[in-house]
Structure formats: structure tokens, C-alpha cells
Amino acid sequence: MRLPYIAGVLGAVNLVSFGLMVADKQRARRGMRRVRERTLMLWAAAGGALGALAGMYTVRHKTQHRLFTLGVPLLLALQIGLALWLLRPAWWG
């Protein structure tokens, strides 16, 4: 398994996810065209749930939307579970 490569890709996806949350909040404040909720959730589902969650609570964005307050933590839990399941052979030899 190419763990450093996967970690790099996930890091980049989380940075994009965080950045999209921050950008959408700034656009909302300025009355500009917004980032679609579907786009935000797709980046979170693609491995960026941690970044999305950090962005949500850093700039207090989408914290009143049930889709995000329940969906993003659920995605994060699923992603952590998947990572643990994929890494299990490495732990047991």
C-alpha cells in the first residue's frame, strides 16, 4: 500500500474541503454567488469530512443545517472506520 501517497491525497482533499467552507461563508457575507451544498458534501464524502467539519466550526458555517451537522460527522466516522479497516492487516502482521 502506498500510505504516504494516500495520506497526501487525503490531506489535499481536506484542505480543499476546508477552503470551500471558508470561501462559501465569505461569499454568503458578501452576497456573492455561493458554493453549492452538493459540492460541499461531495468533497466531504470524497475524504474531506475532517476538513469540512473543521471549516464548519472555524467560521460557523452550515452549523444550523441538519444535512451538515449530522451528515459530515457521520461521513467522518465512516471514513475513520474505513481507514482502520484498511490498515488492520498492517497491525496484525
Residue 91 has pLDDT above 70, yes or no: no
- Mean pLDDT, residues 38-59: 98
Is 70 exceeded by the pLDDT of residue 90?
Answer: no
Identify residue 18 by its one-letter amino acid code. F
* Torsion angle of the four alpha carbons 33, 38, 44, 48, in this order, in degrees rounded to the nearest 10: -50
Q: Under 8 Å CB-to-CB from 29, ≥6 apart: which residues?
A: none
Q: Which three cell numbers stand for residue 18?
A: 476546508
The full set of domain ranges for the chain reads 3-92
Percent of the chain scoring above 90 in pLDDT = 84
Q: pLDDT tens digits, residue range 3-38?
A: 889 899 999 999 999 999 999 999 999 999 999 999
Q: Measured between alpha carbons, how far is 48 from 10 in angstroms, rounded to an integer?
A: 7
Q: Are 44 and 17 in contact (CB under 8 A)?
A: yes
pTM equals 0.91
